[in-house]
Amino acid sequence: MKRGRGILALALLVFLCLNGVVVAEAENVDVMEKWANYGALRRDENSYLRPDDFILREEAAKALSTIILYEAGPNDGGVPAFTDVDVSSPYYESIITVASTGVMNGISADTFGIGELLTREQTAVIMYRVFVSQLNIDLRSSFSDLWQASSWAGGAISVLAGNRIINGYSDGSFKPHNTIKRIEFITILDRLMPEPHKIVVNVPSPADFPDFDRTDPNQAPADPYAHLVGKKLIALTFDDGPHGTLTPRLLDALDAGGIKVTFFLTGANVAAYPSIAKRAADEGHQLANHSYSHKSLTSFTNEGIQNDINYASYIIENATGVRPTVLRPPFGSNNARVRSAVGMPLIMWSIDPQDWSGKSSDTIYSHITSRARDGDIILMHDIVQASIIAVPRIIEKLKQDGFVFVTIDELIAVRGGAQAGELYYSFR
């Protein structure tokens, strides 16, 4: 028989676990006997204590009223006229006691909630109100779902759990809105008062309840690009650097203009000026790959392409701590073989002032500002002095025209992403 019962109990436990019902409170029916004998719990007509039934609000009121030395409470004199509590109700006196002392409020101004089940967070708040004087407010525990608790309940849950009065579930949750069993309610009460007796209750004001962390840990982090959505975006890009003197001048101008750009660096020049590349990265600009040798990649074998690209990435990462995620092939030159070999999105351009061909800064400025459209990628070179001179005016004009300057990574993130081996001329 004993063995059979054990198997039954095991089967029940497995059933409960499979259904996600892990009992939060250790169960000891003797505790219920003690409180029933004290008069806090009614037995049913068959004299059962029904430990696994969920406790009703009026049953909780009954249990608590037996320990409250009712003299006067904050709600005294204005005894709530609950429309659902009849004077003839066996719970009438208990409800008046808990309501008058402020231990339990109605579920609305004129409704106590007769016949409704008490929730776990309501239990925490009620116990907190009665026993606050014997709790260490500095002892707090948190739960993965504490943020789901009502604003008036989270602090009480946190303190009661920190004082080891109320438990959560094995998965780290508390389930504040779940109902609570009769035996769980009495077990919690018994931890606070091992010998049942009457006490004077001084209910703290809601303002004195401890606060708790209301942030949802499961919430997706706020979209870092949200501020760019719906804006007119434009990306300035500078190829072939760093240059020993012009790139620092450009960085000063970008800093003054308060914008971030993308540098398509050659590995060879980063090897020559690693600290300038590092400065660009430290100031928030994007560093991208423009090959090591700046030779047309179509002239290389597949292995040669990868060596030239990977070596540039290695040098850039070594100098700056940042590994490029996008490539601009030298001269834009590419074919299917190049595209499949590089392993990164290929970022081309939609506006090219041909600044390398001896154009004046005025011409560069006009070419760019007269053509700029949302999503454009502008090609310049930070080894060309005329472009560096034109940059402050370009920034000023495009800002006036409502553009927001972004890096290529930002443009990609806001405008649908980019795939390795694909060509991108703009991100509309």
Q: Which residues are catalytic?
A: 239, 381
Q: Given candidates 58, 145, 239, 382, which one binds Ni ion under the rule CB under 5 A?
A: 239
Q: Closer to Ni ion by CB, 154 or 353: give it.
A: 353
Burial group, residue 136, by CB count within 10 angstroms (0-12, 13-18, 19+)? exposed
Q: Closer to Ni ion by CB, 324 or 330: give it.
A: 330
End-to-end CA distance of the chain: give it in Å, rounded: 76
Q: For residues 383 and 243, what is the distance between their CA atoms, to the nearest angstrom? A: 6
Q: Is 240 in the site for Ni ion (CB under 5 A)?
A: yes
Burial group, residue 225, by CB count within 10 angstroms (0-12, 13-18, 19+)? middle
Q: Closer to Ni ion by CB, 57 or 328: give it.
A: 328
- What is the token pair recorded at 381? 């070179």
DSSP symbol at 136: -
Using DSSP, how many helices (H) and how many strands (E) does the chain show?
Answer: 15, 7
Which range of residues in 60-68, 164-172, 233-241, 337-345 is near Ni ion by CB under 5 A? 233-241
Which range of residues in 50-58, 115-123, 235-243, 244-252 is near Ni ion by CB under 5 A? 235-243
At closest approach, how far in Å is the CB of 224 from Ni ion? 30
Q: Which of 247, 228, 239, 229 is nearest to 349 (CA)?
A: 239
At closest approach, how far in Å is the CB of 290 from Ni ion? 6
Residues in 327-366 that interact with Ni ion by CB under 5 A = 330
Q: How many Cα atoms are found within 13 Å in the side-chain-facing hemisphere of 233?
A: 25
- What is the token pair recorded at 340? 């499949």
Which range of residues in 9-17, 231-239, 296-304, 352-360 is near Ni ion by CB under 5 A? 231-239
Residue 235, SS3? Answer: strand
Residues in 301-330 that interact with Ni ion by CB under 5 A = 330
At closest approach, how far in Å is the CB of 332 from Ni ion? 8
Q: Which of 392, 387, 383 is nearest to 252 (CA)?
A: 392
Site string for Ni ion, 121-140 (x = CB under 5 A): --------------------
Q: Which residue in the block uniquely carries the two structure tokens 């997706």?
A: 220
Between the alpha carbon of residue 15 and those of residues 20, 21, 180, 258, 339, the distances in Å are: 9, 9, 19, 62, 57
Which range of residues in 77-85, 193-201, 237-245, 420-428 is near Ni ion by CB under 5 A? 237-245
Complete DSSP assignment for 278-323:
HHHHHTTPEEEE--SS---GGGS-HHHHHHHHHHHHHHHHHHHS--
Q: Closer to Ni ion by CB, 242 or 330: give it.
A: 330
Q: Closer to Ni ion by CB, 239 or 355: give it.
A: 239
Q: For residues 47 and 28, what is the distance between their CA atoms, to the nearest angstrom? A: 17
Q: Closer to Ni ion by CB, 191 or 359: give it.
A: 359
Q: Which residue in the block uniquely carries the two structure tokens 């971030």?
A: 260
At closest approach, how far in Å is the CB of 380 from Ni ion? 11
At closest approach, how far in Å is the CB of 315 from Ni ion? 16
At closest approach, how far in Å is the CB of 151 from Ni ion? 59
- 428 contacts: CB under 8 Å, gap ≥ 6: 373, 374, 375, 415
Chain-centre distance for alpha carbon 184: 32
Which range of residues in 2-10, 72-80, 240-248, 336-344 is near Ni ion by CB under 5 A? 240-248
How many chain residues interact with Ni ion (CB under 5 A)?
3
At closest approach, how far in Å is the CB of 330 from Ni ion? 5
Site string for Ni ion, 241-280 (x = CB under 5 A): ----------------------------------------
Q: Closer to Ni ion by CB, 257 or 353: give it.
A: 353
Residues in 144-183 that interact with Ni ion by CB under 5 A = none
Residue 360, SS3? Answer: coil
Nearest residue to the partner Ni ion, using Cβ: 239
Residues lying near Ni ion in the complex (CB under 5 A) are found at 239-240, 330
